[in-house]
Amino acid sequence: KWRSNDGLNREIQVRSSIKGVPTPFEYDVLLALMRIHIRHNNDKVIIGGMSTNTIKFTYRELSREMGFKGFGSKTKDRLHNAIEKLCDTNIYNTSKGGIYDPIKKEYLTNSTKVISILRNFESYSYLNTKEGVVLDAHSLKDKASVVIDDFFLSNINAGKGKISNGALRKSLKIDLARRLYLILNKWRNKRDEIYVTYSKL
């Protein structure tokens, strides 16, 4: 629940699975997946529109993008669970009109809309053998893909996503500090100075 710039009370409902709702770690995983997707599309994914909603990656690649120094089965499992949690999470619009439509440039009121974040998650682990590729759930060699929700992605394409400094964000060790940096970076909108209140934050 929050109050928007027009002075009205807004509200959304976040529903997840048995794994719970996303934490700052899942948010970091989502940002890392987006950076991988942008890099795979020659850094032209957002400018001019997305070429595809499907992100293709490996867990080792995702681990490296997250800034982990090593890669093993525990890291792989943690990343896998984070993506599952993002796929299971849905955001529901309520009668308070908490979801903003960037195309119509208005809040959705008096209607139900369910937005997912990620969907169609697929992954498999494999081994290269003399007989060819063999599936092996315990292998650290893998291929994975996941699809970004259309509405979620349209918000990014409509300018609701802002470029941030990944190295600076990773250097902030406290989750709250990372979130504050991302919020302030979005609000400043290329300005050198902004004025905010603690209640607004």
User: What is the sign, positive or negative, of the torsion defined by CA atoms of 91, 88, 154, 76?
Assistant: positive
Phi then psi dihedrals of residue 66, to 5 deg: -75, -15
In percent, the amount of the chain with pLDDT more than 70 equals: 93
Task: Please give the span between the terminal C-alpha atoms of the chain, in angstroms, as a whole number.
Answer: 13
Q: Is the whole model's pTM more than 0.85, yes or no?
A: no
Render pLDDT for 136-195 as a digit per residue (tens, 0 to 9): 887 888 899 999 988 877 777 776 566 777 778 778 888 888 888 888 888 887 788 888
pLDDT band at 47 (very low <50, low <70, confident <90, very high): very low
Helices (H), 41-165: 59-66, 73-88, 150-155
Residues 13, 66, 119, 162: what is their CA dihedral angle, to the nearest 10 degrees?
60
pLDDT for 48 equals: 45
Q: Is the pLDDT of residue 34 over 70?
A: yes
Among 65, 57, 70, CA closest to 29: 65
Question: Contact, 112 vs 92, CB < 8 A?
Answer: yes
User: What is the sign, positive or negative, of the torsion defined by CA atoms of 102, 108, 111, 117?
Assistant: positive
